[in-house]
Structure 1
Amino acid sequence: MSESPAPEPVLERLTEPEDGVPHVITTERELLECARAVAAGTGPVALDAERASGYRYGQRAYLVQVRRDDAGTWLIDPIALPDLSPLDEAIGTAEWLLHAATQDLPCLAEVGLRPRQLFDTELGARLLGLPRVGLAAVVEHYLGVSLAKEHSAVDWSTRPLPTPWLRYAALDVEVLAEVRNLMGVDLAAQDKSEWARQEFDALLSWAPAVREEPWRRISGLHKVRGARALGIARELWYARDAIARDRDISPGRVVPDAALVAITQAAPSSTADLPTGHRGIARYGRDWVAAVARARALSDAELPEPTVRSDAPPPPRAWADRDPLAAARLTHVREQLATFAEDRSIPVENVLTPDSLRRVLWSPPEPATPEAFDDALAALDARPWQREVVVPMIAAAVAEHPG
């Protein structure tokens, strides 16, 4: 008779912050008290921000969490206190600890918080090749405890914030320092400390990309045919965005993308012609009809192009037909990158972004020297460590398949 598999161990669950649930700071006096405590603390500073992007317009922070050894955990309401520069001055050049820094850096900058150095535990987990890189998974890996995440998608613009949400928010920053220390040991053991330093330094100047035509991200836009219909979809997107901004609600709560596509296909001349469905279609019916009318009034030259013009290389699947030598170069380097990534336990896209690789291999610089490849990748923001790894692979591939 075969034995039953051993049950999975039950992890201890973090349920209460070490010093209890802090109250939320809402006054200048309390902010200065927080700043003094943080300035007197020791070691790195753990930070986090909670947004309400699924409920409110934009990506602003509705709660900021800060923790430092010998200073404790502080929860700050950035709506009541939109200028946190006293805290920024208190932190000074101390290292920031963040998880998934690119999610929080923009909204923290909006309230006057900007790092001089940082450590991103999510990016560190990727460099180490951890199978899961969410905060709860990383905490489980390093600390052997379970971190509750059930409040991650709540409406953080709610006032007052419920105590269970504040407990969750405080725990998020409480664990970061210990995780960072253990992760730092692993990065050193795998000879990746310098890689991590370069990646973290690059985040200091990182900014989110600004999309020139954000309306093209409408889900289901592929169902819309013709330049005039695309013009209608564009006008509807901007009408929805204006409503969302004025009402301070998420655009998807005005009407979802599916409703925008349905209105586009109906092309109504009056509110009576609007399709049925989401309540926002009827509620803002005049706005949709006006948007359609604006699109109808556009000249042909003012209508959007059917597709976005791009300087990117063609999709890799088309390379074999359009440039067999480039396709051979791409296959050559991809195989070497995959081997390197597997040997070093790192996702291949963290060694070099696929877009950067395709750009350099599709149009190699002239002359095709290692120095030229290094310059080309540097212009695409590849880190020095990435260029050191990849340039020899690219140079060898181009030498074998010149063209």
Structure 2
Amino acid sequence: AAMIDNHIYHGNDLKIDPNQILFKRVMDMNDRALRNIELGEYTTGFDITVASEIMAILCLSEDLHDLKTRLGEILVAYDFSGNEIYAKDLNAVGAMTLLLKDAIKPNLVQTTENTPAIIHGGPFANIAHGANSIIATKTAMRLCDYTITEAGFGSDLGAEKFMNIKARESGLTPNLIVLVVTMQSLEYHSGYDNLIQHIDHLKQYNIPVLVVLNQFPTDDKNLIIQLKEFVESHGVAFSISDIYNQGSKGGLEFAKQAVELANHDLNEIRYIYETEDSLETKINKVVKCVYGGTGVVFSDMAWDKLQNFEREYGHFNVCMAKTQYSFTDNPKLLGAPSNFKIHINDLKLARGAGFVIALSGKILTMPGLPKKPAAENIDYLEDGTIVGLS
């Protein structure tokens, strides 16, 4: 972003249109005041770091060379004639790569029970593609017999993007999909309808699904039995994780069952949409097959962008930006609503990452703090104790 401003300041040889600058600054903190700012002669703003295309590129790159190539393909602006301007046109790629040469390396950390874990990348699943880096996953697969990786939020966001973006880009096919539920979440959604929508979604990938109850001390034993019977009646395996109460010992039975289900010849993955589908078709398939909706309503601006992107980027994946609280774009509609449409208000092209972002409802790429932010509970005491972080 600084190099864009600097280029314009020093004569603007690329004839960048200040009103058509797409690349925003980012920061790793919620601050609604920075969503829209006046900067010199044009209006821009900040996104949260996890929504940055650079974060997506970091997580989707196979190696440093791939990272550098993808960085150069970032669409940063249009010129006065409507032509695309890329990061490589600004000669910014070398410096960007240098800044990320160590960041691209996965981090090996130790859990509280002294086992290894690889932590790398942080795109949120509601406003980005929600999966850790391909490099981290492939590194783990080379180092151990079984690799467990997590996708953000519910299956409608994290799993959908893991399968249709990360798995497709990397060529990886999971042996098993684990869907974690809690009795509290089932109660919050007033029954099993929400769970069934997630199960029906995951079964479409042609990969075994295991529903795991994350058990808490207050859970009703009779309700757990009912849940087990309900899940198994829908042709899906069920297990219980008691890690919250017992630590890793409470997960042994669940782990054994997961290993048994994972030890099979890989099935051919069935994606929700195909690469050759149009962008409009891809979005509609996600809405109908994953969310249980009936279709999509595009704003005029989103529709115009869709037609423009379709000409050159119709083969790209789609990355849905949607609330994590509901299958719909309304966070207050719980359970498994029916007869609804998703409202797409804007589209953004992540050319280097290889997908088109469809922003729905009131989703924002720079969140704001709640009425009572967590910062109010954090303190540093005189004896050096930090409180309020948990």
**TM superposition score normalised by structure 2:** 0.25
Computing the radius of gyration over CA atoms, which structure comes out larger, 1 or 2?
Answer: 1
**TM superposition score normalised by structure 1:** 0.24
Greater percentage in strand: 2
Greater percentage in helix: 1
